[in-house]
Chain A
Amino acid sequence: MLNELKKRLTGKTDSSGDAFVDALREAISPERVKFDGAHRALHGHDASVFDGGNSGPVVYPETTAEVQAVVRLANDHGRNVVPRGAGTGLAGGAIPLGAPVVVAVTRMNKILEVDVDNMIAWVEPGVVNLDLSNTLRPHGFHFAPDPSSQQACTIGGNVANNSGGPHCLAYGVTNAHVVALEVVLPSGEVAMLGGLDAEPQGLDLRGVFVGSEGTLGITTRIAVRLTKNRPEVRTLLLSFDSVTDAANTVSGVIAGGIVPAAMEVMDQRITEAVENYVGAGYPLDAAAVLLAEVDGLDAGVDIDADRIAQIGRDNNATAVRLAETDHERALLWKGRKTAFGAIAQIAPDYYLHDTVVPRSALAGVLEEVYAIAKRHDVLVMNVFHAGDGNLHPLLIFDAREEGVLDRVHAAGGEIITASLDAGGVLSGEHGIGVEKQKYMDRMFSGDDLDHQNRLRQGFDPFCRTNPGKVIPSGHSCADIQSLRNVPDKVWG
C-alpha cells in the first residue's frame, strides 16, 4: 500500500493545467479544491478492503450553492461526481471509479436548527453522528441510529447507506429517522425530498434516496427526527457456553414478543480482544455473551429484563448480570463499541462481512460460518446485531501472507451463500457498493435489477453520480470495467 501511495504521490503535482480543475477553483476557492497526489490517493479508498479507486479533484464545499456549482461544472465538463462523507463505508460506496470529482462534505458540519415543535433537527451532511446525539442529549433527545463507527461517520453517509446500529432494533434504521432531505440532483438542480408534514404529496423520493449509496445525488441538508431519551434503561450481560445458546436466546426473546432496544452478541475471541483493550468487564471463559438492553418506563423495563433473563436461563445461560450503575452500563457498551478498535490492535487486516438471516436461523448459520472459516483456514470472530438477525462475521488475516486474500474472499462468498440459502439477504447495513454487486443476481432477477435501474435513471438519466455502484454492470447505466480505467486525457 505504501508503494502504491508513493507512486501516486509522485504521479502528479498540484499545478492543474486542467480547465475543469481551474473552473472548480474559481467557483469554490483554490484552497478547497485539492488536486495533489496525496489527496487523491487518500480519497481513492474508503474503509473497505477494496482498492482500484481513482480520484479526480477533491472538493470541500461549504454550502449547498457550492455543491450545486460543482455538480453543474462537472456536467459541463462531462465529468462524474462521487459524494463522500467520512469514508468509513465498508462496501466501497465512496470509492471513486473513473476519476470523478470527489465531493467531500465534511466541512458542511453544522447543526442548523433544533425544532422541538416539529421533533426534528436540520443538520448539514458532514455532521458526525455522535456529535449530533451529544448535542441533543442534554435537551432530552438523541438521534437513534448509532453505528459502531459513530465517532467518525457522518449523517450524510448514514443517509446514503441507510445505516443501522445496536439501538436500531427497536427504533428502526436511518430511514425511519429522516423526515426531509435537501438534495443537489445529478442535474445540478436543488430539490426538497419529503417534508416535515405528516404525509408529503407525491412519490416517497425521500425514502428511496435513503440507502441509495450516493448514486441519486448529494444531500446537503437533512431533517432528522428527534427521539426522546428513555427515562429507564436496563442492560443485561448474559454468558453462554456456546454461540448457539446465545443465538437461541435471541430468537426466543423475539418469539416471546419482546423487542428490546438492543441485542448484541459477541463470541469468545472478540470478548477476549475487547477485555484486553478496554477492560469492559466481560467474562473471559464464556463462549459467547449477549448484551441486551431494554428501555422505556419503570415497570416495563423490569418486566422485560426479567423475561429476557429467564429466556437466557432456559437456553443454558451460565451467568446473567444486570448492570447496576450507569458506569457499569457505559463500560459494557464501550466494550461493544470498541470491538473493531480492539481487533485493529491484534490483527493487521480484517474483512467485516454483513448479511442478515431470519432470527430463527441465526444459530444454524453461525455454525456454518465457523465451519466455512475453518475450511478456508481463516480466523473468524463474530460480533453482531443479533436482534435483527444481522450477522457481522469478521475475517482476520495478515495481507502479507501469500494467497490469504483469495481464501478470505472465498470464505466471504460462502458466508453470503449460506445466508441467502437460509432465507436471508445480502446486506443489513453496509450496502452493496462495489463489494456485493456480483452477488446481486443471487437475490434479484434480471427484471428486478432492471427496475432498480429504472429508479436510478429517474434521478440520474446520464449516470453521472457515483457510477458503477450497487447495480451490477450489464443492468446498470455504467460499465464498471470502463470506469476502472481512466478516460483518455483525464487525470491519470
Chain B
Amino acid sequence: MVASPLLVSDDPVLAAFADEVGDTGPVSVAGSRTRWSLGGELADDTRIVTAPTGIVKYQPEEMTVQVRAGTTVAELHETLMAAGQRTGLPERGGTVGGALMAGENDLRALGRGRLREALLQVRYVSAEGRIINSGGPTVKNVSGFDLPRLIVGSLGTLGLVAEVILRTNPIPAVSRWYRSNDASPADVVEAVLAPSAVLFDGTSTWVELEGHAPDVDAELTRLQAIGSFEAVSGIPELPPHRWSFTPAEALAIDPAITGSYVSVVGLGLVFASQTQPNRTVTGAVQEVHERVKANFDPTGRLNPGRNPANK
C-alpha cells in the first residue's frame, strides 16, 4: 500500500532541515528570539539551527495555508491579507514555528480562535532526525492521535517544527476599537454578542467589534446604553508579563499583586508589570509529562533547559 502522495513530504528543503537537526547532540531552533527564555534558559552547549522558510501552498478557497516554520507571522499575514484572510497566530513579531511553540494566544482569540485551533497539520523533525507528519490538510480531521495539539506550546521539546498547515479565516468587513471610561467590562461582555476582544486596565474598557458594518453599528448602540464609548485606533500599551487567570478572576485583578495591568476579559489572559509566580505541574499530570517527554526525546537533546510546564 502506498501512502497518499499529498500526505508525505518529498520537499528537499525539509529533508535538508532534518539532516541539519541530525540525531545527536543538544539542538534548538532559533526563530526571531522574541520568546527565547520562555520555560527556562537553554543549556549552554546547545547547537542552534534555523527552520526553513517560505509559503509552500496557499489555498484561500480552502481556507488553509501550508507554510514553513521559519516564515515570519508578519510575512504570512501579509500574503493572506491580499486574499482577505488571516490566522489565529499572534502578530507580535516572530516566526510561525516560534508562535506555535510558545503557544501564546493572540489577545483577540475570542474573535480569531485560539492558537491551538489554527494548526491542522504539522511536520516536525524528531529527536532521531526523522520527519514526522501528523494531523491532516483538511479543516476537519480525527484520523489518529492529535499530535498537533501536543506540539502547540511544547517549546520544541518534543520535535522541531519544519512545516505546518494552518487554518485561515476571512477578515471581517470592518474591525473597530472603542474605549469607555464608565462601562464595566462585565456589562460589555453581556451587552454584545461576540466581541473580538474586551480589554480592561482597572479604569477603562476597550472593545473590538468586527463584522458587517450595520451589525457593528448596532452593537455600538447597545454598548452606548451601558456607558459612553469613543472610537480609538487600537489597544492600550500592554505591560510586558503574561498571567493566566480564569475569566472570572481576570475581572477582579488585584494590582497589589500584578502591578499595573491590562486584562483580556472573557479569556482570562492578563498583561501585567509584575511577573507571574512560577507555575508548574505536579502529581499524576507531571508523571504523564515526563513519560511523554522521555518517549519523544529519550536523550533529552531537544531544547534542553526548557520545560513547557514552567511557562
Chain A residues with CB under 8 A of B309:
201-203
Chain A residues with CB under 8 A of B246:
118, 195-198
**Which residue of B114, B142, B245, B310 contacts A430 across the interface (Cβ within 8 Å)?**
B142
Q: Beyond A255-B61, A390-B140, A425-B141, is A455–B150 a contact (Cβ under 8 Å)?
A: yes
Query: Is A114 close to B, CB under 8 A?
Result: no
Please tell me the size bucket of the interface on A: 35 or more
**Which residue of A300, A427, A428, A459 contacts B212 across the interface (Cβ within 8 Å)?**
A300
Residue ID in chain A nearest B269 by CB atoms: A198
Q: Beyond A254-B62, A451-B134, A459-B288, is A175–B146 a contact (Cβ under 8 Å)?
A: yes
A303, B309: Cα distance in complex, Å = 46
Chain B residues with CB under 8 A of A427:
141-143
Query: Is A17 close to B, CB under 8 A?
Result: no
Report A33 CB to chain B, min CB distance, Å: 26
A198, B153: Cα distance in complex, Å = 13
Query: Is B284 close to A, CB under 8 A?
Result: yes
Q: Beyond A205-B285, A207-B152, is A425–B137 a contact (Cβ under 8 Å)?
A: yes
B291 A461 Cβ-Cβ under 8 A: yes
A254, B64: Cα distance in complex, Å = 11
A191 B288 Cβ-Cβ under 8 A: yes
Which residues 131-157 of B have a CB within 8 angstroms of A?
131-134, 136-147, 149-150, 152-154
Q: Beyond A198-B105, A202-B285, A202-B308, is A173–B269 a contact (Cβ under 8 Å)?
A: no
Which residues 80-137 of B have a CB within 8 angstroms of A?
84-85, 103-105, 113-114, 116-117, 126, 130-134, 136-137
Q: Select the residue from B4, B134, B249, B250 with max chain A CB neighbours within 10 A.
A: B4
A231, B245: Cα distance in complex, Å = 29
A388 B138 Cβ-Cβ under 8 A: yes
Q: Beyond A203-B308, A444-B144, A458-B292, is A198–B268 a contact (Cβ under 8 Å)?
A: yes
A455 B295 Cβ-Cβ under 8 A: yes
A297 B138 Cβ-Cβ under 8 A: no
**Which residue of A172, A201, A228 contacts B281 across the interface (Cβ within 8 Å)?**
A201
A356, B246: Cα distance in complex, Å = 35
A448, B143: Cα distance in complex, Å = 12
A447 B152 Cβ-Cβ under 8 A: no
Q: Beyond A427-B142, A470-B144, is A198–B285 a contact (Cβ under 8 Å)?
A: no
B281 A202 Cβ-Cβ under 8 A: yes
Query: Is A239 close to B, CB under 8 A?
Result: no
A447, B8: Cα distance in complex, Å = 11
Chain A residues with CB under 8 A of B6:
420, 423
Chain A residues with CB under 8 A of B269:
198-199
A431, B170: Cα distance in complex, Å = 29
Report A208 CB to chain B, min CB distance, Å: 5
Tell me the count of chain B residues lying within 8 A, CB to CB, of chain A: 88
Query: Is B60 close to A, CB under 8 A?
Result: yes
Query: Is A432 close to B, CB under 8 A?
Result: yes
**Which residue of B61, B142, B284, B296 contacts A360 across the interface (Cβ within 8 Å)?**
B61
Report A470 CB to chain B, min CB distance, Å: 6
Residue ID in chain B nearest A390 by CB atoms: B140
A300, B209: Cα distance in complex, Å = 13
A98, B211: Cα distance in complex, Å = 54
A205, B159: Cα distance in complex, Å = 16
Chain A residues with CB under 8 A of B35:
none
0/1 interface trace, chain A 437-462, chain B, CB 8 Å (1 if under): 00011111101110110111111010
Chain B residues with CB under 8 A of A191:
283-285, 288
Residue ID in chain B nearest A192 by CB atoms: B285
Chain A residues with CB under 8 A of B141:
356, 425, 427-428
Query: Is A367 close to B, CB under 8 A?
Result: no
Q: Select the residue from A201, A388, A421, A430 with max chain B CB neighbours within 10 A.
A: A201
Q: Beyond A198-B268, A452-B134, is A388–B2 a contact (Cβ under 8 Å)?
A: no
Report A375 CB to chain B, min CB distance, Å: 20
B215 A259 Cβ-Cβ under 8 A: no
Report A174 CB to chain B, min CB distance, Å: 9
Query: Is A230 close to B, CB under 8 A?
Result: yes
B266 A458 Cβ-Cβ under 8 A: no
B248 A118 Cβ-Cβ under 8 A: yes
A436, B142: Cα distance in complex, Å = 11
B140 A448 Cβ-Cβ under 8 A: no
**Which residue of B138, B145, B308 contacts A452 across the interface (Cβ within 8 Å)?**
B145
Chain A residues with CB under 8 A of B130:
447
Query: Is B225 close to A, CB under 8 A?
Result: no
Which residues 353-410 of A have a CB within 8 angstroms of B?
356-360, 385, 388-390
Query: Is A465 close to B, CB under 8 A?
Result: no
Which residues 194-211 of B have a CB within 8 angstroms of A?
194, 211
Chain A residues with CB under 8 A of B256:
none
A259 B170 Cβ-Cβ under 8 A: yes
Q: Beyond A199-B269, A445-B133, A448-B133, is A204–B61 a contact (Cβ under 8 Å)?
A: no
A203 B154 Cβ-Cβ under 8 A: yes
Query: Is A258 close to B, CB under 8 A?
Result: yes
Chain B residues with CB under 8 A of A426:
143-144
Which residues 245-299 of B have a CB within 8 angstroms of A?
245-251, 264, 266-269, 279-281, 283-285, 287-289, 291-292, 295-296
**Which residue of A161, A300, A424, A461 contacts B142 across the interface (Cβ within 8 Å)?**
A161
Q: Beyond A119-B266, A192-B285, A193-B285, is A388–B212 a contact (Cβ under 8 Å)?
A: no
Residue ID in chain A nearest B281 by CB atoms: A202
Query: Is B68 close to A, CB under 8 A?
Result: no
Chain B residues with CB under 8 A of A425:
136-138, 141, 143
Report B124 CB to chain A, min CB distance, Å: 9
B280 A201 Cβ-Cβ under 8 A: yes
Report A214 CB to chain B, min CB distance, Å: 12
B60 A255 Cβ-Cβ under 8 A: yes
Query: Is B12 close to A, CB under 8 A?
Result: no
**Which residue of B2, B145, B245 contacts A208 across the interface (Cβ within 8 Å)?**
B145
**Which residue of B140, B143, B279, B291 contacts A173 across the interface (Cβ within 8 Å)?**
B140
**Which residue of A201, A297, A432, A448 contacts B311 across the interface (Cβ within 8 Å)?**
A201
A455 B284 Cβ-Cβ under 8 A: no
Report B210 CB to chain A, min CB distance, Å: 10
B268 A208 Cβ-Cβ under 8 A: no
Report B242 CB to chain A, min CB distance, Å: 7
B: which residues have CB within 8 A of A?
Answer: 1-4, 6-8, 59-63, 84-85, 103-105, 113-114, 116-117, 126, 130-134, 136-147, 149-150, 152-154, 158-159, 169-170, 193-194, 211-215, 218-219, 242, 244-251, 264, 266-269, 279-281, 283-285, 287-289, 291-292, 295-296, 308-311
- Further pairs besides A187-B284, A445-B8: 9, Cβ < 8 Å: A198-B247, A198-B264, A201-B310, A297-B211, A356-B136, A356-B138, A356-B139, A423-B6, A447-B132
4 residue pairs, one from A and one from B, having the closest CB atoms: A207-B149, A458-B292, A299-B214, A255-B61
